[in-house]
Amino acid sequence: MTSATPPVADVDRVANALREPQAWRSASPLEWSRLFGQARSAGLLARVAWVIANAGNRTTSPADPDLTPEALASAGPWPDATRGHVASAWRLALAQRIEVRRELRHIAHALAPLAGVGAPVVLLKGAAYVAANLAPARCGRLFGDIDVLVPRDALDRAELNLQLHGWESQETSDYNQRYYRQWMHELPPMAHRQRGTALDLHHALLPPTSRLKSPPAPLFAQARPLAAAPGLMALHVLAPEDMLLHSMAHLFAGDDMRHALRDLSDMDLLLRDEQSRDRDFVGRLVERGLELGLGRPLAYGLLGASRVLATPIPQQALERVRRLAPRSLLGNGMNWLWQHALRTRHPSVDRPGTALALQLLYLRGHWLRMPLPMLVRHLSIKALKLHETGPATEP
Amino acid sequence: MLPTLSSLDPQMLRARLAAPVDDPERGLVIRTGPFVTRIRSRLPEVAEALSVLYGDYPLATPDGFVDFNVGVRRPWWRRGQRAQVRFDFEGQEPFNPLPGAQAVPLLEWGLNWCVSALCHDTLNLHAAVLERNGQALILPAPSGSGKSTLCAALAFSGWRLLSDELTLIDPRDGQVRPLPRPISLKNASIAAIRSFAPQAVVGSNVADTIKGTVAHLRPPASAVQRAAERACPAWIVLPRYVANGGLRWQAMEKTDGLMHLVENAFNYDVFGASGFDLLARVVSGCRCLRFEYGGDLHAAVQAFDDLLADRVEAQAGMQS
């Protein structure tokens, strides 16, 4: 292939575009095809479109977060053939943001009684980004379910109030119901009867049986009320450090790497945004991570973001978290796993070993989540499908 | 003008289609309306159907921008009764597999899905649409209403086929963006169209799909060649096939017309309030009618010629 423009060295075009958006000003049509195909698979087409259109201007907030689809499609270095997809991706991201906001008003209304007993209702991840209008939500993000965190002793009351307002549990098998309620940090997924919107109600960041111990109390202590958001006043979001630490704990102790690159990109935007306001942010993040017992996920997160997305992180902090990551053989093994996981899931990106790495991470996620005898029992029941009494979702 | 698919002999067509999935620069690359699609499949019936149904479509350059990468395959490890066909989109399978003999309907449904599920730069209606004198006739209707049969009959009677399934409305100007593709005929309508338009080319029958027996109709060459010419919505007609019934036109309130467009929109929720405004604007410029017809397709086509003439007279009457 002879081309005037240098070929993109990284087969993961999405990571490449998020890292070096300027380079795409002169990309060939074939490269654009690959980028758009991969970005769609990664759930990052709107994000990639925003980043490329705003190349060189990423640490500052966008001038107009409610940019219209047509405006974004005419703002970047897009070849004509791609403009429709840019407008399409941005329109979908805008629509989902509006939908999440509307859903959050319903949730705030349903859970308002919890404020009466002094129990904070905290939004996590995507919902928090939208409610607090943070960088990941402003810069094109797609949404799945809404994650809500309440203190353990308010869990029953929260579930009851959600049920009264139309949310119902989606889990029909007794085994899965018990599995979630006894062992997990969240209730079985709920969905609203009429609107169909999905909601996960959490009482901790990690399962109580997890090898990674991080009690939720300090998170509630630092949570911030959404005072400025109309209709959402009863809701809270985590402090920025805790938001990142939760996101990292979720990804790097998790078993599902389908959206790994999207989650890493959210972390990248949060880190860039917070550092543009406070240059010591990463220092405080590291302190807080150690305080909460989340040193390893923090190390994987900062090292991963720096390597894959060139997130600016002070050298000193990188040195410090490098010491928190495992050493020698285990360290090398984990590096290998993350190198496969923190990429777009697409056949043109997968390499030999990717499928194996994802399998190992699946097992690792379960291993971290519960003691071995329990893990063996749980995976056997799932493998033999003994729990299937009806349509059920995978826990 | 770009070479068309019919310029490939069967061997070349098969060779292009057989490109490996992990080779993004090969495969058969064709343009359908505003979209360029790269298709890969080693299945002989897919090659056969493409040559029968897509002969007039332009081939696109393989190093240009490709909107969709799709594939259809039949995994070798499932044989005989258990054979399956699978639709691949960018390495993912958005649908459940279908029985082994349904590769061609699966490809067609997959190509529809690429647009209806992924393309939100236009507001997409589940509706057939045809054009005459720059004016678009939109036929929104659920399956079983005789929409495709009527659409096929009109497409061979002076109306230009814009689409049998997907009416794409551009939010900037309210115009219909053509996406002419083979018309999907079901059950009795296959024979009805064969006898109505003997010159029409119909692909192989595929039995026992969820829609019964399905066959696809090659769109008229002129519809494919004029795919870049847009049309302005002028009529919204809700067709209904009534076995052994006669012809009947019935006035429809514009508000009803609007509700039928909303109900048949794939991505109304994505457009939100602007979607309502857009469809309201479309409906306000359209005449809204219900249309019942029985077995006589010639009479039905005549009725639409009357509709066209009626409108011309009405406009002349208003001016005088």
Residues 6+ apart with CB under 8 A from A90: A46, A49, A50, A67, A68, A69, A72, A73, A140
Task: Show residues of chain A in contact with B172, CB under 8 Å.
Answer: 70
Q: How many domains does the structure of chain A reveal?
A: 1
Task: Show residues of chain B in contact with A28, CB under 8 Å.
Answer: 63
pLDDT for res B135: 96
CB A235 within 8 A of CB A131: yes
pLDDT digits over A11-21, tens only? Answer: 899 999 999 99
Using DSSP, state whether A237 is helix, strand or coil. Answer: strand
CB contact under 8 A, B118 and A88: yes
* CA–CA min distance A79, chain B (Å): 9
Which segments of A177-249 are extended strands (E)? 190-192, 198-202, 224-225, 235-237
* CA–CA min distance B59, chain A (Å): 16
Residue among A345, A355, A354 nearest A37 (CA): A345
pLDDT for res A2: 37
Residue B37 Cα distances to A3, A51, A78, B33, B118, angstroms: 23, 26, 19, 10, 13
Tell me, yes or no, whether A342 lies in a domain: yes
Q: Note down the domain range covering A225.
A: 13-383
Chain Cα centroid distance, residue B55: 16
Phi (first) and psi of residue B220, to 5 degrees: -55, 140
- Chain A, residues 174-213, CB within 8 A of chain B, namely none
Q: Among B22, B86, B92, B270, which would you mutate to test the A interface (most chain A Cβ atoms within 10 Å of its Cβ)? A: B270
* CA–CA min distance B239, chain A (Å): 31
Tell me, yes or no, whether A143 lies in a domain: yes
Task: Show residues of chain B in contact with A32, CB under 8 Å.
Answer: 65
pLDDT band at A299 (very low <50, low <70, confident <90, very high): very high
Domain boundaries, chain B: 5-118, 123-319
Residue among B33, B289, B273, B68 nearest B171 (CA): B273
CB contact under 8 A, A347 and B91: yes
CB contact under 8 A, B34 and A82: no
Pair of tokens at residue B41: 């499949």
pLDDT digits over A41-94, tens only? Answer: 999 999 999 999 988 665 445 545 678 898 899 888 999 999 999 999 999 999
**Spatial distance between the Cα atoms of A362 and A381, rounded to a whole number of angstroms:** 16
Between A351 and B229, name the one with better pLDDT: B229
Q: Which of A96-110, A374-388, B15-29, B44-58 shows the lowest per-residue confidence on average (mean pLDDT)?
A: A374-388
CB contact under 8 A, A30 and B63: yes
**Spatial distance between the Cα atoms of A373 and A376, rounded to a whole number of angstroms:** 5
Q: What's this model's pTM, rounded to 2 decimal places?
A: 0.90
Q: Inform me whether the C-beta atom of residue A34 falls under 8 Å from chain B C-beta atoms.
A: yes
Which residue stretches of chain A are H helix?
13-19, 29-42, 45-53, 69-75, 80-110, 112-116, 125-131, 135-138, 155-164, 174-178, 217-222, 240-252, 260-277, 281-291, 295-309, 315-322, 328-341, 354-369, 372-383
- Written as tens digits, the pLDDT of chain B (320 aa) is 679 999 999 999 999 999 876 565 678 999 999 999 999 999 999 999 999 999 999 999 878 899 999 999 998 888 888 899 999 998 889 999 999 999 999 999 999 999 999 999 999 999 999 999 999 999 998 777 889 999 999 999 999 999 999 999 999 999 999 999 999 999 989 999 999 999 999 999 998 888 899 999 999 999 999 999 999 999 999 999 998 888 889 999 999 999 999 999 999 999 999 999 999 999 999 999 999 998 899 999 999 999 998 753 433 333 32
- Chain A, residues 70-109, CB within 8 A of chain B, namely 70, 73, 79, 81-85, 87-89, 91-92, 95, 98-99
Tell me, yes or no, whether A324 lies in a domain: yes
Tell me, yes or no, whether A389 lies in a domain: no
What average pLDDT is seen over chain A? Answer: 88
Tell me, yes or no, whether A6 lies in a domain: no
| Residue whose token pair is 């495992």 | A326
